[in-house]
A and B are shown apart, each in its own frame.
Chain A
Amino acid sequence: MKRFFRHKFIWILAVALSLSLITAAASLLLGGTANPLSDVGGTVSRPFLRLFSQISDKVRDGQDYVRGIDALRAENDNLRTQLAQAEQQARVGELAASENDRLRSLLNLRVRGQSFTLEPAWVTARSADAWQAAVTLDKGSNQGVEAGDCVIDAAGALIGRVGETGSSWCTLRLVTDGETRLAAKAVQGETIGVLAGDLSLMAQGKLKLDHLTQENLPDPGEKVVTFGTQGQYPSGLLVGTVEEVRDDPGGLTQYGVIRPAAQLDRLGEVFVITGFQEER
């Protein structure tokens, strides 16, 4: 035994094990707040990570510019068609909204709405870990960001939820991450399910709408939005589109494969929902 402890590396391994246990305990006890070691590190490394991120973005933009002119032309034509369709839908929507207002006033109902308190933030680093889908943002608890806050892009699509917060930074777990668990519903068929990250779908940039029953399955192409019932997160945030419905390995339920609406591989400025009010 004495000979065993004479090896110097045993002591290094003991220190490493202690640090791992302390970090794990701190994560459990602090519940979403970064431990002091990570907090200091995140604050110090933030400007450098931001710099790397900006350089990488510039390089990628340059590559895209060179490669993408033909693709941009095709996309432009496609977008013109979509715009025309959207304008048509907007006109129909305006008529429906005015009818809705009129009927609500007849029934003496209050207008249902949402208001968000948004904190703009920038992505400073992207996780290079195959087993998690996360990025680091440059806003933290000093700016009112808390663990569990939803984060959306400029178009209002859900990107993910805040995982861990430091004083001036936070970790954003993307919707495709394995830890994602949110109630959601398909807009047209009103199908309700649980949005769940899945390790095998994460590599493809997708996630699951889980716990669906045979009687009420969503159709491919349906939009899926959040369905907050406890006030923990807002309802109605666009998550993505149903691509297909598959049988669960157990065979008792089905799940929908969801393609996120937000472009998760091209994140720049995002918005943290630090507060929200919903009228039902």
Chain B
Amino acid sequence: MGLLRPGGYLLLLCLLQSGAAAWLRGFGVCPALLVLGVCLAGLRLGPYRGAVFGLAAGLCVQWLAAGPQSGAFFLLALLGCAMGLSARLWRGFWGEWLGCLTGLAAFILVRWLGFGLIGRGFLAPLLSLAGPELLYTAVWFPLIWLVGQLLRPGRRRGGIAGD
């Protein structure tokens, strides 16, 4: 797979995150579509490409300024890589959904701990932000899955092998 398909997928993710996510607000939170997209990319591209994709997503977030998780290059790259390493566990639509949810939960958990450690509270943000963000973002997985079809290798044209 060349750069075109992952690049197009990343572009669409950035458009969704910066253009649409703010308007898809529900339960007081915006869906973390980009993070979900990085998880799916990791599952489909493997650890190396998943890490590169996560790093590129981090750079795009930085460039979009005031976007989510500004400066989170490492977390996103780590997430892409980890999802790639665990790809065998998550097969099929429901498996990928569960895998992406696990990755998203880990990402949110790290952020929640980070905010808690700098004195922004633990229990209240867990109930009012972390929980709703995880559940509400999970609802949008089918959209990301559809966009993620860009990452599937195209079917080869021509006759059956061996013809």
Contacts and interface: CB of A to CB of B under 8 A. Distances in A.
Interface of A: 7-9, 12-13, 15-17, 19-20, 23-24, 27, 34, 37-38, 40-42, 44-45, 49, 52, 55-56, 60, 125-131, 134-136, 166, 169, 171, 178, 198-200, 202-205
A45 B31 CA distance: 22
Contacts of A136: 65-66
In this complex, the member of B21, B29, B63, B66 whose beta carbon has the largest number of chain A beta carbons within 10 angstroms is B66
Given A17-B74, A129-B69, A204 B63 contact: no
Contacts of A128: 17-18, 21-22, 30-31, 33, 67-68
A13 B63 contact: no
Contacts of A134: 66
Contact of B64 (A15, A45, A130, A204): A45
B133 A130 contact: yes
**5 closest A-B pairs by CB:** A41-B63, A203-B28, A129-B68, A128-B21, A16-B77
Given A45-B65, A136-B66, A20 B73 contact: yes
Contacts of B70: 38
State the main secondary structure of chain A at its contact with B.
helix
Nearest to B116: A199
19 contacts: A7-B47, A9-B48, A17-B73, A20-B71, A37-B59, A37-B62, A38-B62, A56-B19, A125-B18, A126-B66, A127-B30, A128-B21, A128-B33, A131-B111, A136-B66, A171-B65, A198-B124, A199-B120, A200-B127
B52 interface: yes
B30 A49 contact: no
A271 B38 CA distance: 37
A130 B30 contact: yes
B22 A178 contact: no
B54 interface: yes
Interface of B: 15, 17-23, 27-33, 47-48, 50-52, 54-55, 58-59, 62-78, 81, 84, 111, 115, 120-121, 124-125, 127-129, 132-133
Given A16-B51, A199-B125, 17 more contacts: A7-B48, A12-B77, A16-B73, A19-B59, A19-B73, A19-B74, A24-B71, A27-B71, A40-B63, A41-B65, A45-B64, A52-B19, A125-B65, A127-B68, A130-B129, A198-B121, A203-B132
Contacts of A203: 27-29, 128-129, 132
Contacts of B77: 12-13, 15-16
A60 B27 CA distance: 19
B72 A20 contact: yes
B139 to A, nearest CB: 14
A171 B66 CA distance: 6
A200 B73 contact: no
A130 B104 CA distance: 13
B51 A56 contact: no
A16 B78 CA distance: 8
Contacts of B75: 20
A135 B68 CA distance: 11
A18 B80 CA distance: 17
A129 B27 CA distance: 13
A23 B81 contact: no
A238 B132 CA distance: 31
Given A9-B47, A9-B84, A42-B63, A199 B128 contact: yes
Contact of B18 (A37, A52, A171): A52
A170 to B, nearest CB: 9
Given A126-B22, A203-B29, A135 B65 contact: no
Nearest to A201: B128
B63 A38 contact: yes
Contact of B115 (A34, A44, A199): A199
Given A12-B52, A19-B58, A129-B68, A199 B121 contact: yes
